Amino acid sequence: MHVVHVTLRGRVQGVGYRAWCAREASARGLLGWVRNRRSGAVEAVIAGGKAEVLAMVTALRAGPEGARVDDLLMHEASETALASGGTRFFEVLETL
């Protein structure tokens, strides 16, 4: 299983980004979670096959209509990054 941790900045809150992310990830058969950060960023952990995860990261750069991603920081993670949620499906978590 390939796991990445992603932080996105730009106009990514108030545009349905988390719900869009969860739908996209679920449609791709991915596990993980997404949440808003009080800083205005969106944070996500995405897990699955490497090709599917990388395709999802590409989709995250565009986001839903109305979003603008100015910065995307991604790093490899371990399956322990799923400890907050998303071990059986893709979840939207509370703001942190």
The answer, as to whether pTM is greater than 0.85, is yes
Q: What's the chain's length in residues?
A: 96
At 61-82, the pLDDT tens digits run 999 999 999 999 999 999 999 9
- Residue 54: the pLDDT is 97
1 secondary structure, DSSP code: -
91 part of a folded domain: no
93 part of a folded domain: no
92 part of a folded domain: no
Burial class (CB in 10 A: 0-12, 13-18, 19+), 11: middle
**Strand locations in the chain (E):** 2-11, 31-36, 42-48, 68-76, 90-92
Q: What is the CATH number of the domain that holds 32?
A: 3.30.70.100
Q: How confident is the model at residue 35 (pLDDT cuts 50, 70, 90)?
A: very high
Q: What is the mean pLDDT of residues 41-64?
A: 97
- Residue 43: the pLDDT is 97
Give the residue numbers marked as catalytic.
18, 36
Domain count within the chain: 1
89 part of a folded domain: no
Half-sphere exposure for 17 (CA within 13 Å, toward CB): 28
- The answer, yes or no, to whether residue 86 has pLDDT greater than 90, is no
